[in-house]
Amino acid sequence: MWHPPADAHSRRDFMRNGFASVALLCTLGTPGTSSRRRVVTSAAMRSQARSPFTPFRRDLPLIPELLPVRRTRRRDVYDLRIREGLAEVLPGFQTPIYGYDGVYPGPTVRARRGRTVVITQHNDLDFDSNVHLHGGYVPAGHDGHPMDVIAPGGSFEYHYPNHQDAATLWYHDHAHGRTSHTLYYGLLALYVLEDERERDLDLPAGDYDIPLAIADHSFNKDGSFRYVDNIDLGFRGDTILVNGAVSPRLRVDRRKYRFRLLNASNSRSYMLRLGRGRRMVQIAADGGLLARPVARRRIPFHPAERIDLVIDFSDYRPGTELVLHNEDGEGGTVAVMRFDVGRGGGREEFRVPRRLRSLETLPAPVSDRHWDLGFGSGAWQIGGRDFDHDRIDVRPRFRTSERWSFTNNSNRVHPMHIHGFLFRVLSRSSGPVHAGERLGWKDTIGVLPQETVTVEPWFGPYNGRYVFHCHALEHADRAMMLQLEVEA
């Protein structure tokens, strides 16, 4: 089915929503470019015969894990270079990217609770960069605040204490104003934190524990990523990449797998469905395990969220091809990936226990705060304000919890993320909170158009200055972000 190229979309949406007066600045280059190139959308390319966009042609790339340069009794020490690189996203093409060690997606860090991870990040780019450990309990000075940047040629040693529950975290660039650009071009990676308690549950592990970084992209004719700015809708690509390959396939054994899904898209929300609505079992959300496994058939999945799923392929006959769909997609964004069920499997050694953890009870909230989300004075705003790094917008008390309500007065989804702290989801004005959100800790929550979502953050274990913002990155960059400071 034909759909207009992304730039036609954006222009129309701009007009309709009254954004026409917003100046679009694209002052950044793209990796490895110098000359002008002819712009041909991937939509046009897809219509060609034997297009590299045909889904399920490539095997799922497995993201490499980062090896420490040194292990001491309490620390794992790593060294990474933030630099330009090339990725073979489309077979036969070299796509210029920015990457941790020049790789897209960047190498996964496997961390153990109680062992400090130290990562020296060298900025080999010619503009400022920094690294935010998204979902991590990290002292403010190591959090990757948008104004704490590493200058070109410089480096910074990030310390991550890992005093928190096992969880699927991720790290990405956060230099203010250009995050939509740098994430799109590849500065993101997973950070898998493990602990004893989770290990004792015998959940699928090792080769049966697979991170899936999902993002939408578009392409120029030469195979480079094509980026079209749209402050209203955010970037929308016409192709889905999983771990850097177009809608790939994965050959699976007839047994249980754990998939750690990361929505690494700039602004796209998904509605995930397996086959014609087969069962997926959610075991974890952003902040780690849920209290118990939750069966799901459709999963809304917003930017920056993580969802850990167990899929049991022993329920399927050998030869079954199971597609993970995006119900909210169109054209090339409908098929996320495919699981091809093989014969073997051997004896199942993993299980999903009925109880995964006990959930902490929070102290009674000491404040109620309300945040309106909307567009005003040429920017996206929270509580009628846009980002000002010289202003602290809210000062919660250390080691207390508060009730925060976000009311979305716009027609766009705003995935709201708080740095440094985790929260529980209390209510949604649109209906009940799904168990997959209610029974665990979160750091990002999708606030739907015209909806009010109430969450309860706990302001520990570290104090200091952090930010909270919309994770639709085109919104965050202009300038849907505020500062909070927790004083000891």
Where does this chain bind ligand C2O (CB under 6 A)? 132, 134, 172, 174, 304, 417, 419, 469, 471
Choose which of 89, 470, 482, 486 interacts with Cu ion (CB under 5 A): 470
All residues at 6 or more sequence positions from 300 whose CB lies less than 8 Å from its CB, including other chains: 269, 270, 271, 272, 446
Q: Which is nearer to ligand C2O, 250 or 479 (CB)?
A: 479
What stretches of 17-57 show up as alpha helix (H) in DSSP? Answer: 42-46
Question: What is the closest distance, in whole angstroms, from the C-beta atom of residue 471 to Cu ion in the complex?
Answer: 7
Among 241, 280, 283, 472, binds Cu ion (CB under 5 A): 472
Q: Judged by CB, which is closer to ligand C2O: 268, or 419?
A: 419
> How many other C-beta atoms can be found within 10 angstroms of the C-beta atom of residue 253?
18
The beta strands (E) that lie in 53-115 are given as 70-71, 75-87, 95-100, 106-112
Closest CA to 241 of 474, 57, 4, 475: 57
φ, ψ for residue 140 (rounded to 5)? Answer: -55, -35
Q: Which of residues 244-273 bind Cu ion (CB under 5 A)?
A: none
Report the residue number, 169 or 242, with the smaller CB distance to ligand C2O.
169
Distance set, CA 391 to CA 395, 467, 482 (Å):
11, 11, 8
Nearest residue to ligand C2O by CB is: 134
**Shortest reach from residue 217's CB to Cu ion, in Å:** 20
With contacts defined by CB under 5 A, how many residues of the chain interact with Cu ion?
4
Tokens of 296: 């799901």
Task: Give which of Cu ion, ligand C2O, none residue 175 binds (C-beta under 5 to 8 Å, depending on kind).
Answer: none
**For ligand C2O, the closer CB: 220 or 263:** 263
What does 465 interact with, of ligand C2O, Cu ion, none (CB < 5 to 8 A by kind)?
none
Cβ nearer to ligand C2O, comparing 68 with 383: 383
Question: Least CB distance from residue 473 to Cu ion, whole Å?
Answer: 9
Shortest Cβ distance from residue 17 to Cu ion (Å)? 13
**In the block, which residue shows the tokens 């909270």?**
468
Is the link from the previous residue into 105 a cis peptide, with omega within 30 of 0? yes
Among 176, 256, 438, 475, binds Cu ion (CB under 5 A): 475
Within 10 angstroms of residue 415's Cβ, the number of other Cβ atoms is 24
Q: Which is nearer to ligand C2O, 174 or 255 (CB)?
A: 174
Map residues 428-467 to x or -, x wherever contact with Cu ion holds by CB under 5 A: ----------------------------------------
- Which residues does 2 contact at the CB level (< 8 Å), separation at least 6? none
Buried b (16+ CB within 10 A) or exposed e, 327-362: eebeebbbbbbbbbbeeeeeeeebebeeebbeeeee
| Residue numbers at the binding site for Cu ion (CB under 5 A) | 414, 470, 472, 475
